[in-house]
Structure 1
C-alpha cells in the first residue's frame, strides 16, 4: 500500500531532540517502510524521506494573513500528495484537512493530546464514512467515546535502541525526565527523593514563559546540589544511559496526560517506573511487576523503598511485547486494512 502520513510543521520528523508526536510518526513511517509499504510524508523543515515522497510545509507566523496563506499552501500540497495514497494518517492539525475531508480517501486521525468533544464533532460532521479515529489510551478517549468509535493504539518506542540490565545499577540514583512544569510534578519527585534520602537526577527542558520560570526558580532551583542534580536537556544517546543506570523513573504527573512515552522508554531499559495513579499510567504500569502506582506522596515514598523488588527483565519483556514500534505499527495496519477494505466494498 501507499500511505500518506501528515504531521504539524513545527518539529521535523524524526525530531532532533524534543518531539514526542514526531518521534511516534517517525517510528510508524520507518516500520511501515520496513514492512514493504510506500510511505509519503508531509512534515516540517528538516524532515527526512522514508522512501516515498516528502512534502515540506512551514509554520505560519501569528499574523492572520500568514496563517491563511499557509493553510491554502497546505491544501495545494495535500492535494498532490493524497491522489496516489491508499490511506492517509494524520497526526497534525484538524483544521488543515478541509480538502482531504471532502475526498473519499480513507483517513485515520490520531489524537496525541487531550481530545475535545468539539474536535470529534467537527470531524464526524464532515466525514461519516472512510474515517477512523485513534486514541493513545483508554483514559484519553473515555469522555468522547459516545461521539464516535475510537481504536486505542498505545504509543511505542524502538526497543532495539535500548538495552536492559538484570541487576540493580551501582550508581543507585532515581531519575525524573520531562518538561519541568508544575503539571509534570518534578517538585513531588524532589520531595520524595529527600524523604527517602536517595539521589535524584532531573533532566528536561526548562520552560521560558513567566509561570514556568517562576516554578523552576521557586520549586526546583533551591533544592539543587549534590543529592538533587539538574543535568539539563538530553539527547537520545544520553537518555539511554540516564534511564538505564537509574534504579527507577519517577513519574509524578498531576494532569490527565494521554500517554507518557518516557514510561515506555524507561521500561525498555529495564528500569521500573513509580507513577501517580493518573490518566493512562495504570494502562502502562503493571503494578508490582513493572513498577508501582501511587495515590499519594506517602505511597510514592513507600514505592521507592521497595523498588528493588521489581524484576528489571520483566520490565523489558513487557516493553517488547506491549510497546515496541513493531507492535504499534501492526495495530495501525489492522485499522488501515479494515478502512481500505470498507472503502473498496
Structure 2
C-alpha cells in the first residue's frame, strides 16, 4: 500500500495473522537471542552475528539456506566463519522447538534489509511474548512499536543497544499486540466481513494511499 500511486483507491489493509493460541507459551526468559528465516544475503544475519560478537551475546540462528549459488556462498563465506560456541546455526527446526526458542529468548533479532510483504517470524515472536529487534525496512516499522514490543536499529551499535534494552519489554505487551492485531482469527473475520460486504453490494470502507 505504501508503494501504491498517490490517491489510488484502496480497500483497508488486512494484516496477516498467526495462530496466537497455538504459539502461546509461558516459560522463563533465558539470556540468548534468536534469529529465524531464510539464510540469504538479504537476511542480514551477518549484521546479527557482528552485533553478537561485539557484545558477546549468545545467538541462535535457524532457517534454511536456499539452493542458490548466492545463498550457499553467503553461508559458507560470510556466516560460517562467524559461528562459534556462543553463535550457533541450527538449520531448519520443527514447530515445538521453534515455539520454545521464541518463548525463552530475550528477543528475536530480525535484520533483514530487503522489502518483504510481512515477517511471520516477528509475528510469531510477539505471540510467544518475545520482543522484536529489527531493521527499519519492509513490514517491521508497522509491526514493532518501539519501547513496547521491541526496537528498530540500523547498524551494529544500534542492534547491541536494542538487544540490551529488549530485556525491559513486558512479554504480556507483546502477547496483547499479537492477539489484537495479528491473530489468525482476527484476520479471517476481517476477510469474511470484506467478502460479505462485496457479495451483498455494500461499499467497504476505502482508504487512500
Query: Structure 2 length as normaliser, TM-score?
Result: 0.91
In the aligned structure 1, how far is the partner of 2:36 from the partner of 2:25?
A: 18
Q: Which runs of 5+ in 1 are unaligned?
A: 1-140
The secondary structure found in structure 2 opposite 1:151 is: coil
1:217 aligns to 2:43 (yes or no) = no
Alpha-carbon distance, 1:300 to partner: 1.3
In the aligned structure 2, how far is the partner of 1:296 from the partner of 1:150?
A: 35
In the aligned structure 1, how far is the partner of 2:67 from the partner of 2:162?
A: 33
Alpha-carbon distance, 1:195 to partner: 0.9
Alpha-carbon distance, 1:204 to partner: 0.1
Q: Over aligned residues, Cα RMSD in angstroms? A: 1.6
The secondary structure found in structure 1 opposite 2:90 is: strand
Aligned residue for 2:155? 296
The secondary structure found in structure 1 opposite 2:61 is: strand
1:144 aligns to 2:4 (yes or no) = yes
In the aligned structure 1, how far is the partner of 2:155 from the partner of 2:192?
A: 39
Alpha-carbon distance, 1:145 to partner: 4.8
Larger Rg computed on CA atoms: 1
Q: In the alignment, is the contact (CA less than 8 A) between 1:166 and 1:313 conserved in 2? A: no
In the aligned structure 1, how far is the partner of 2:149 from the partner of 2:172?
A: 9
Aligned residue for 2:196? 337
Q: Which runs of 5+ in 2 are unaligned?
A: 203-209
Give 1:209-288 correspondences, 5 Å limit.
209-288=68-147
Give 1:1-345 correspondences, 5 Å limit.
141-146=1-6, 147-165=8-26, 167=28, 169-170=29-30, 172-342=31-201
The secondary structure found in structure 1 opposite 2:125 is: helix
How many aligned residue pairs are there?
A: 201
In the aligned structure 1, how far is the partner of 2:138 from the partner of 2:82?
A: 28
Distance 1:183 1:150, change over 3 A: farther
Alpha-carbon distance, 1:278 to partner: 1.1
Alpha-carbon distance, 1:246 to partner: 0.8
The secondary structure found in structure 2 opposite 1:257 is: coil
Query: Structure 1 length as normaliser, TM-score?
Result: 0.56
The structure 1 segments of at least 4 consecutive aligned residues displaced by more than 4 Å after TM superposition are: 145-148
Distance 1:222 1:296, change over 3 A: closer
In the aligned structure 1, how far is the partner of 2:112 from the partner of 2:82?
A: 19
Alpha-carbon distance, 1:227 to partner: 0.8
In the aligned structure 1, how far is the partner of 2:124 from the partner of 2:106?
A: 14
In the aligned structure 2, how far is the partner of 1:270 from the partner of 1:164?
A: 8
In the aligned structure 2, how far is the partner of 1:309 from the partner of 1:183?
A: 29
